[in-house]
Structures are given as C-alpha cells and as structure tokens.
Amino acid sequence: MPISRNIRSLSLPELKEYFESIGDKKFRAIQAYEWLWKKNVRHFDEMSNLSLDLRKKLAEDFDFNAITVEATQYSNDGTVKSRFKTFDNHLIEGVLIPTEKRNTACVSSQIGCSLTCKFCATGKMERKRNLDFEEIYDQVALLNEQSEKIYGKKLSNIVYMGMGEPLLNYKNVLKSIDKITASDSMAMSPKRITVSTAGVVKMIKQLGDDKVRFNLALSLHAPTDKKRNEIMPINESNTIDSLIEALNYFYDHTKNDITLEYILFKDKNDSIEDANELIKIYRQIPTHLINVIEYNPIAGAEFIKPAEDATQLFTNHLAKNNVNVRVRRSRGKDIDAACGQLANKDKINS
C-alpha cells in the first residue's frame, strides 16, 4: 500500500481493501469513512471508535489534508467571513450569509485567480493553485458548523462564488459537489447549489455534456463585447455570442436554472442603452433571473457605485420589458466579505 496518500481520495471499496491489507476487518473501513464524510473530522485522533494503534497506523500511511479556520470576522448584518488555511499554508476565504429564509455558504475554488477582472479583489491576486475537492468540501462543512452554532440551523444553499474561477478547476469542483450531495455525506440537494462562472465557453458546454444537476450563474457585468472586454479580459476569447450559445447548450442538456449576474458601475454599464442591450441578451437565453448587484469598492479600482435612483431607473426599465430582475443587496461589506471583495486582507479578527 502506498505511503502518505491523502486518505480522502480513497473510495469506500478502496478503504476496505486497505483495511484488509493490514489484517483488519472491512467494517473498520465503514467506521473510518463515516468519520471522514458524515462527521467531518479533520484528524485521525478524532476517530474515537478506532483503537489508538489503528489511528497511529492510519497517520503513518496517509495524509489528512484538511483545511482549518485561521480567523473569523463578523459583519453588522450577520454575515460571517472565515479565513481558511490549507495544509500547505495558503489562505482562502469563505462566507456564511444568513437570511430569514436561508443560510448560504459562499465558497472558494482556487487559491487566487488568473482572470484579472478589473472590479474584483481576488483578480488582483496571483493564482497559486486549484483547491482539491476535499478542500472545497471542508469549507462547506466548516461553514455549516458555523451556521448551526451561530444560527441554530444547517446550511440551505451553497454558491461557488468565492475566490477563483470554478470552471478552471472543473474536476475538483464537480467532485466536491458529488461528495456534498452524496447520501453517505451531507446529502444536500444539487438544486440548492449554484456554480458561478466568468464565462468559460468550453467548460459551460462540458457541464451540459456531463448533465450536471446544479444551477449555473454567469457573471456578465456588461452588455456588449466592447464594454465587457474592458473589465473582463476573459471576454476576448469567450465573447457574448459564444456564451449565449453555450448557455443554451447547457440548458438544453440539463434544464437547470441559469442566472445572469450584473454589477452596476456608474457611467460604465448603467444607462438605459445598456439596459436595452442587456434585454436583448436576456431574450436569447433561457435564464430565469437577472441579479443586479451593488458594486463593492476595492482598492486600486476606479469604479463607482451608481446612485440609488440610477439603479432603480435601470432595474425598472428591465422590469417594464418583462425581465425578471432582482437587486441583490450586498452583505458583509463592512468586513470585505461582499461580492468581489475576497482577498485575504490582514485586517481580520480571530
């Protein structure tokens, strides 16, 4: 048996094979598996119904690359931001967003990001590596623990809208969702999971081919290629027309919900002309909703949030043209936990 493998990369049959190989009984594998995925332990020492010698043997033969909470910050609006540390000492952030109807976990998929979107703090960071599937899973498990401890209820929803581009970590993102929704793990409904993308055409189509069961959100943020190129360099190779085609392909193959995300920037994308261009896109995609999002300022960016009346004018125009539109109010702005603000800032309280 290979030494120092990540134990959480093993399936249950592989765990059974391992326990047999060291002369132990198969049911030990089931006990260990439950500790890993039902009880979400993060160290072999916590597997209390296994003997001390067996736990030492597991620690000798396997790694346990769990993430830990390094620091936590609490917003005035109830939002909770956590800074997580990986086994190799990288930092990522995740957010618990409570409302009356739901408690949502916003999780990261990469350490940093390579897409350099102009309005996003994470986009100013160097991408170090992709997160492994169990590191994504750990964020959900830890945020769920926070939700139960602070608010007395489990998570109801998960959004992959934290640090990184989920579709550039395709394999691990899908594997994390498989594990989160598995009956022998958290057993969450895939319909309560949304993956947000800046728009990777090839991988959106792959989602369709794989017939995934979760929902998709496209971070559009501009209604023309010219404007989108200026703020999102990914658009140069993933144009709006190609995204429209890919989203239709995704829907045809999955019938899952598609949401368009649209951050408003003063004098950049908030005019009635912009709204009319956005309506044209909306009518070409089987999307059920446009989320108009408040811009959250970040250091080094020149964007400005529009006045409230300008936002109202923009959204009213969409609604008058039969667009299902909602203004998504920012949560956790006072702790840099809102959309586009995650960047591992040092100013965080433990």
Burial class, 11, CB count within 10 angstroms (exposed 0-12 / middle 13-18 / buried 19+): exposed
Residues of the chain with CATH 1.10.150.530: 5-63
Tell which residue, 112, 111, 78, has the closest CA to residue 95: 78
What pLDDT score was predicted for residue 3?
47
Q: Render the burial of 228-251: b for 16+ CB within 10 Å, e for the rest.
A: beebbbbbeebebebbbbbbbbbb
**What type of residue sits at position 14?**
E
Counting every residue written for the chain, the total comes to: 350
What pLDDT score was predicted for residue 339?
56
What pLDDT score was predicted for residue 349?
40
The contacts of residue 99 (CB under 8 Å, 6+ apart) are none
Longest dimension (CA), the chain: 72
What pLDDT score was predicted for residue 132?
96
Gap between the Cα atoms of 321 and 230, Å rounded: 27
Burial class, 349, CB count within 10 angstroms (exposed 0-12 / middle 13-18 / buried 19+): exposed
Strand partners, 158: 105, 193
The model's pTM: 0.91
Q: Catalytic residue positions? A: 93, 339
CB atoms under 10 Å from CB of 277, counted, come to: 17
Burial class, 122, CB count within 10 angstroms (exposed 0-12 / middle 13-18 / buried 19+): buried
What pLDDT score was predicted for residue 344?
53
Strand partners, 196: 217
Extract the residue ranges of the chain whose pLDDT is less than 70: 1-4, 330-350
Fold annotation for 5-63: DNA polymerase; domain 1 (1.10.150)
Torsion over CA: 347, 344, 147, 38 (sign): negative
**What type of residue sits at position 177?**
I
The contacts of residue 308 (CB under 8 Å, 6+ apart) are none
Residues of the chain with CATH 3.20.20.70: 68-335
Query: In terms of CATH, what superfamily is 68-335?
Result: Aldolase class I (3.20.20.70)
DSSP state of 38: T
